[in-house]
């Protein structure tokens, strides 16, 4: 069976966005950027919830026109070319080599059929996928910022999830990777 990796940037205080929805704080230095691209190269598709999809599709198609950041310039062509899947009950179609599916049962079927995926965003989607046992690996990147509130990386859940730490690493002398696999 294929694997599903949850790739998440979070603040030191455990948030994926600031109190006003800010996502201007991740530090994408050269080492982290290369690691992100290597994982992206290995997967068959990027996976998103609808809200994160809206953010990503509003930036990456024309990233070179809005940014001179080396990470953005290297990742934009990869993003445009990679097949993408959005889980949404409200979105009917999406551009940029993207398929929209209405429920996570379709994600389970894709995974069973051999599609390796990286979930790049959607805390609610990640929680649903976790509840259904579909996430194999959690790559949590802890950034050197305290946001003081906002959306938590892992919403409250009545279930406990046991994980095994398989790697910890520091990127660019700033960002800590905590990589866990399901126990």
Does position 37 have pLDDT exceeding 90, yes or no? yes
pLDDT of residue 72: 93
Confidence of residue 5 (pLDDT cuts 50, 70, 90): very high
Q: Which CATH superfamily is domain 9-182 in?
A: Dihydrofolate Reductase, subunit A (3.40.430.10)
Average pLDDT over residues 22-43: 95
- Distances from the Cα of 146 to the Cα of 12, 32, 124, 133, 156, angstroms: 5, 19, 22, 30, 20
pLDDT of residue 156: 81
pLDDT per residue over 83-137, tens digit each? 999 999 999 889 999 999 999 999 999 999 999 999 998 899 999 999 999 999 9
Could you tell me what percent of the chain has a pLDDT over 70? 100
pLDDT of residue 89: 92
For residue 97, the 8-state DSSP code is S
Strands (E) in 53-149, as ranges, are 84-87, 98-101, 117-119, 137-143
Does position 40 have pLDDT exceeding 90, yes or no? yes
Does position 56 have pLDDT exceeding 80, yes or no? yes
pTM given for the model? 0.94
Q: Cα separation of 82 and 96, whole Å?
A: 9
For residue 103, the 8-state DSSP code is S
- Distances from the Cα of 172 to the Cα of 1, 31, 128, 169, 175, angstroms: 33, 6, 32, 10, 7
Average pLDDT, the chain: 95
**Domain boundaries of the chain, sorted by first residue:** 9-182
User: Are the C-beta atoms of 138 and 127 separated by less than 8 Å?
Assistant: no
Burial bucket for residue 42 (CB in 10 Å: 0-12, 13-18, 19+): exposed
User: Are the C-beta atoms of 85 and 117 separated by less than 8 Å?
Assistant: yes
Q: Cα separation of 99 and 44, whole Å?
A: 13
CA–chain centroid gap for 88, Å, is 16
CA–chain centroid gap for 150, Å, is 17
pLDDT per residue over 141-181, tens digit each? 999 999 999 999 998 877 889 999 999 999 999 999 999 99
Q: Cα separation of 143 and 27, whole Å?
A: 7
Q: Cα separation of 33 and 41, whole Å?
A: 12
- Half-sphere exposure in the Cβ direction for 51 (13 Å, CA): 11
pLDDT of residue 157: 79
pLDDT of residue 159: 82
């Amino acid at each position: 069976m294929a694997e599903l990796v949850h790739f998440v940037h979070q603040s030191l205080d455990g948030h994926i966005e600031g109190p006003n929805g800010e996502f201007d704080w991740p530090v994408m230095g050269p080492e982290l950027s290369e690691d992100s691209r290597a994982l992206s190269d290995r997967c068959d598709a990027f996976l998103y919830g609808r809200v994160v999809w809206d953010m990503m599709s509003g930036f990456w198609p024309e990233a070179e026109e809005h940014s001179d950041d080396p990470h953005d310039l290297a990742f934009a062509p990869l993003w445009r070319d990679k097949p993408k899947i959005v889980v949404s009950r409200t979105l009917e179609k999406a551009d940029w080599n993207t398929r929209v599916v209405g429920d996570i049962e379709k994600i389970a079927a894709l995974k069973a059929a051999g599609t390796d995926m990286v979930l790049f965003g959607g805390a609610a989607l990640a929680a649903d996928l976790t509840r259904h046992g579909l996430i194999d690996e959690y790559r949590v990147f802890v950034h050197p910022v305290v946001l003081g509130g906002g959306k938590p990386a892992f919403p409250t859940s009545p279930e406990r999830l046991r994980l095994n730490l398989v790697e910890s690493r520091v990127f660019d002398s700033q960002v800590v990777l905590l990589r866990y696999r399901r126990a």
